[in-house]
Amino acid sequence: MKKNRPRFLPDRRTFLKGFSLVLGSTALGFPFFSFGSCQSGGNSDSGTENQADPQTQGNTKKLGIALVGLGGYSEHQLGPALKETQHCYLAGIVTGTPSKIDRWKAEYNIPDKNIYNYQNFDQIANNPDIDVVYIVLPNGLHAEYTIRAAKAKKHVICEKPMATSVEDAVRMLEACRQNNVQLSIGYRLHFEPYNKRVMELGQKQLFGKVQSIEARNGFNITRSNPNVWRLDKKLAGGGPLMDMGIYCVQGACYTLGKAPVAVTARFGEVTHKDYFDEVEQSISWKMEFDDGTIADCSTSYAEGQSLLAGKAEKGWWRVEPAYAYSGKSGETSKGKMDYPDVFEQALQMDAQALSFKNNQKTIVPGEMGLRDVRILMAIYESARNNGKRVPISYA
């Protein structure tokens, strides 16, 4: 069982150093959804048994992944996960901090020729060891480095949120299409048994039609230095909605297997003005679905919360914590959920590597990321307009 790992908040100067922020513009997309079979739960709430995934068939070559950005998530989650993956391995790194190189080289046996900085990043095109580029940078840099990776003819995994604007998300997808590479999003919870069980309960209507959804996610950023990139509008694109609230958006969508038709939202009170002069401290919103189901959601940078719950005609479920890297807990109206604590990032990257190897669409594609950016932007539009109902078009 893996240990809980701390959330790291590198300061904005760390990420600004060595970068030129290149953002651009365009638009299009449609919903994608996934759910897979889960391991059997406890005696009273058992999901379906795991079955062999057809994507596990194919060639046995491990794909080489280069991590772009060596912050806390790469250091404490992705790097260790790549020691456990079966279909991919850590082949290279891209960093603007030379002092990090020796430790990564030693721990992951990375040769000098597979180490890049942000200035020579494009030379990765000439490196056959690297098949996949994983973008683990502040949100405002996702578009630039996804597009550059696509032009280097590398498949791309991009961390959430995919982009800070619909226009950038469209540009990212177009660059990948033009260069015949795949774009996948780092949505790890599609590979995690508690959230997969929620997908099954909702999409298969095992307790009847879903009547309501509740999703909360947040943490207290005010315990750290305010000089972090998550509080920088240019780098983050927004506040907790972009960072933590996207899990709630995802959770509501994959509970039902569809996207909302409209949203309403309101910003919360700012009680820490020295932290939240550029981005929101908190925001709450409702997502309307075409069958009348409402998802009641909220996110905050001043309060810890992690919940995904649903009520249906003949039962209910609740996962809390729902989005943490480990230690999830859940129950349904039939009893306790009982699933193993898995290394989500390892499962995620293995599944993505298999999709790339077999030329199959990943279950968390760039189109899903674009869909979610459209929803995030609609939530912000409603909140800026005092809770006005904002319909969402995916055409």
* Residue 193 clears pLDDT 60, i.e. is over it: yes
Decide if pLDDT at 43 tops 70. Answer: no
Residue tagged 């080489």 (tokens): 64
Residue 78 in this model has a pLDDT that exceeds 60: yes
Same domain flag for 271 and 218: yes
What pLDDT is attached to residue 217?
A: 98
Looking at the structure, do residues 49 and 180 belong to the same domain, yes or no? Answer: yes
Residue 94 pLDDT > 90, yes or no? yes
Cis geometry, peptide bond prior to residue 98 (ω within 30 degrees of 0): no
311 in any annotated domain = yes
375 with 287: CB under 8 angstroms? yes
Q: Are residues 233 and 373 in the same domain?
A: yes
Contact 369, 212 (CB under 8 A): no
Question: Could you say which of 140, 164, 188 is where a domain stops?
Answer: 188
Same-domain pairing of 227 and 281: yes
Q: Are residues 176 and 208 in the same domain?
A: no
Q: Give the range among 6-20, 62-76, 118-132, 206-220 with minimum mean pLDDT.
A: 6-20
CA atoms of 13 and 24, how far apart (whole Å): 22
Is 196 inside a domain boundary? yes
pLDDT, position 18: 41
Active site residues: 160, 247
Tell me the one-letter amino acid at 388: K
Task: Say which CATH number the domain at 286 has.
Answer: 3.30.360.10
pLDDT in tens, 107-156: 999 999 999 999 999 999 999 999 999 999 999 999 999 999 999 999 99
| Domains of the chain: total | 2
Q: What mean pLDDT do residues 192-209 have?
A: 98
271 is a domain residue: yes
Question: pLDDT band at 35, cuts 50/70/90?
Answer: low
Domain boundary, last residue among 146, 161, 188: 188
Residue 163 lies inside a defined structural domain of this protein: yes
85 within a domain of the structure (yes/no): yes
Whole-angstrom distance, CA of residue 150 vs CA of residue 148: 5
- State whether the Cα torsion 363-369-372-374 is positive or negative: negative
335 and 260 in a common domain: yes
Spatial distance between the Cα atoms of 5 and 343, rounded to a whole number of angstroms: 12
The verdict on whether omega for the bond into residue 365 sits within 30 degrees of 0, i.e. cis, is no
pLDDT value for 335: 98
In a domain, 30, yes or no: no
Are 114 and 205 part of one and the same domain?
no
Q: Are residues 195 and 165 in the same domain?
A: no
Last residue of a domain, one of 188, 211, 229: 188
The answer to whether residue 238 sits within a structural domain is yes
Report the pLDDT value the prediction gives residue 339, as an integer from 0 to 100.
97
- My answer on whether 268 and 293 are in the same domain is yes
Once rounded to an integer, what is the mean pLDDT over residues 362-367?
98
Q: Point out the least confidently predicted range of 22-31, 167-176, 194-203, 223-232.
A: 22-31
The confidence score (pLDDT) of residue 395 equals 86
Stretch 328-350: mean pLDDT, rounded?
A: 98
Residue 36 has pLDDT above 80, yes or no: no
Between CA 67 and CA 94 the distance in angstroms is: 6
CATH number at residue 133: 3.40.50.720
pLDDT digits (tens, 9 = 90+) for 55-77: 344 568 999 999 999 999 999 99
Q: What is the mean pLDDT of the chain?
A: 89
Strands (E), the chain: 63-68, 88-94, 115-116, 132-135, 155-158, 183-185, 210-220, 262-267, 282-288, 294-300, 302-312, 315-319, 330-332, 335-336, 390-391
**387 shares a domain with 270:** yes
Residue 188 has pLDDT above 70, yes or no: yes
Q: In the block, which residue shows the tokens 């230095």?
A: 225
Whether residue 11 lies inside any domain: the answer is no
- Which of the residue ranges 32-46, 181-195, 335-349, 372-386 would you say has the lowest mean pLDDT? 32-46
- Average pLDDT over every residue of 77-90: 98
Nearest to 44 by CA among 264, 197, 187, 158: 197
Q: Which pLDDT belongs to residue 266?
A: 98
pLDDT at position 199: 98
Pairwise pLDDT comparison (102 vs 2), residue with the higher score: 102
What is the share, in percent, of the chain residues with pLDDT greater than 70? 85
Residue 37 backbone dihedrals phi, psi, to 5 degrees: -70, 150
Scanning the chain, the segments in alpha helix (DSSP H) are 12-16, 72-73, 79-81, 101-108, 142-151, 166-178, 193-203, 233-236, 240, 246-256, 344-358, 366-384
pLDDT tens figures, 100-109: 999 999 999 9
pLDDT at 4 over 80: no
- Span 153-168, average pLDDT: 98
Kindly state whether residues 228 and 374 are assigned to the same domain.
Answer: yes
What is the distance in angstroms between the CA of the first residue and the CA of the last residue of the chain? 43
Q: State whether 143 and 103 are in the same domain.
A: yes
pLDDT score of 329 more than 70: yes
Structural domain boundaries, residue 246: 190-341+366-391
What single DSSP character describes residue 17?
T
Written as six digits, the tokens of 159 are 């961390």
Q: Do the Cβ atoms of 392 and 259 come closer than 8 Å?
A: yes
